[in-house]
Structure 1
């Protein structure tokens, strides 16, 4: 899986790097930080599926949540690894209000606001015990990860994500800098569509990443 992710990233970077600048002012992953790539974060998944074909009108029917995200701000996908806030001081709930969790509290001037939109986001199938995989190109390391999963009964297709919808299922210690980090997670008692919400507290400075991944428990 990690080899596939790395290969896919490298294959997509070349066509994106030479895309016409009039379409979007591209700032690609080589200039940024990291994100959860499996199960894919919302904007990483949109970039992975459509980054080399982001003007395709078929996206509106095939992948409507990515379509609305690309229409709102393509840079949310080009910068899929830059969804963070600085100087939060660990007070994540104060910094990121209900309904804005997937955009990191409308961080970066609201660039990622489309990620807060409820709807049928594409999901990754997981079991009760699964593994999160972080791609940390900048090798920031981590002071900790906090992994939350939505409670049974939450409907991501119609409800904005609130802190009260989440159950904290994993808190880690420190991780040394590495390109890839894996985190084993257990979230029993769930079926169907859910959101995995990951807080990655980077080690190089007070920088917190807020990451929504859509999953389907099978």
Structure 2
């Protein structure tokens, strides 16, 4: 498995309908699997085993639309709205992201240090005002089991409204950004769960970012 830095800059060439954004740092499952699988020809040919399993379940379309894990009727709802086992797909209805709900411990992972401050970057494929909330899994989380709401701490460890942003919409490098302090006392593999709630509509975006707390500084292992 190769360890690489988070990279931005390529332009998605397909499937832009319904596209809005997803976490770049720490990278969401959909984004990092897109990065893992996109070949020089533009085809999706996953190299990571978990990304390949997601591809076999849901096909290439959700990879090209890594920025579209959303519910148009979400209105910021979480528990009781998105079913257990469907958190990473957001139970989305526009594209089939169900492959990203697979309970696996080998999705691409971002290496982090518990208690450290990081610059969160969240892609703005389309710009919207709203609130970002980041949650972290608790000690009950087991990567081999479907992700449930009870596996997440009930309160976000980072929240921000209308953070600054840079870059031109419709590209990977376009992003909202803010500084977040990671929870302390964590080790091993976890999921950072993001909820982006638009303030100008009921549209809400959901996403899982696989991380491991091992003293890392944002490196990604595919």
Identify whether the pair has TM-score above 0.5, normalized to the shorter chain: yes
State whether residues 24 and 31 of structure 2, in contact with CA within 8 Å, keep that contact through their aligned partners in structure 1: yes
- After TM superposition, the structure 1 stretch with the greater mean CA deviation from structure 2, 158-167 or 147-156, is 147-156
State whether residues 164 and 177 of structure 2, in contact with CA within 8 Å, keep that contact through their aligned partners in structure 1: no
1:169 and 2:156 are equivalent in the alignment: yes
- After TM superposition, the structure 1 stretch with the greater mean CA deviation from structure 2, 63-72 or 168-177, is 168-177
| SS class of match (1:169) | coil
- After TM superposition, the structure 1 stretch with the greater mean CA deviation from structure 2, 177-186 or 160-169, is 177-186
Distance in 2, matches of 1:94 and 1:217, equals 29
Q: Tell me by how many angstroms 1:110 deviates.
A: 6.2
State whether residues 30 and 63 of structure 2, in contact with CA within 8 Å, keep that contact through their aligned partners in structure 1: yes
Q: From 135, 141, 154, give the equivalent of 2:141.
A: 154
Aligned to 1:134: 122
Q: Tell me by how many angstroms 1:55 deviates.
A: 5.4
Name the structure with the higher helix share: 1
Aligned to 1:116: 101
1:69 and 2:54 are equivalent in the alignment: yes
CA offsets per residue over residues 144-200 of structure 1, 9 Å max, x none? 1221111135221x1111111111333524205734222313211110111110101
Size of the aligned set, in residue pairs, is 193
Post-superposition, which runs of at least 4 consecutive aligned residues in structure 1 deviate over 6 A? none
Structure 1 vs Structure 2 CA RMSD: 2.2
State whether residues 197 and 204 of structure 2, in contact with CA within 8 Å, keep that contact through their aligned partners in structure 1: yes
Q: Tell me by how many angstroms 1:52 deviates.
A: 2.1
Any residues of structure 2 matched to 1:50-129 within 5 Å, and which? 50-52=37-39, 54=43, 56=45, 59=46, 62-72=47-57, 73-105=59-91, 107-108=92-93, 111-119=96-104, 120-128=106-114, 129=116
TM-score, normalised on structure 2? 0.78
Q: Which has the higher contact order (CA 8 A, sep 6+)?
A: 2
Aligned to 2:198: 202
Indicate how the Cα distance of structure 1 residues 177 and 141 shifts in structure 2: closer, same or farther if over 3 A, else same: farther
State whether residues 103 and 110 of structure 1, in contact with CA within 8 Å, keep that contact through their aligned partners in structure 2: no
- Structure 2: gaps (5+ residues): 1-5, 166-173, 215-222
State whether residues 117 and 160 of structure 1, in contact with CA within 8 Å, keep that contact through their aligned partners in structure 2: yes
Indicate how the Cα distance of structure 1 residues 89 and 139 shifts in structure 2: closer, same or farther if over 3 A, else same: closer
Aligned to 1:185: 181
CA offsets per residue over residues 42-88 of structure 1, 9 Å max, x none? 011011121126554xx4xx511100112222111111011101222
TM-score, normalised on structure 1? 0.79
Q: Tell me by how many angstroms 1:118 deviates.
A: 0.7
State whether residues 44 and 60 of structure 2, in contact with CA within 8 Å, keep that contact through their aligned partners in structure 1: no
- Structure 1: gaps (5+ residues): 18-25
Distance in 2, matches of 1:180 and 1:124, equals 18
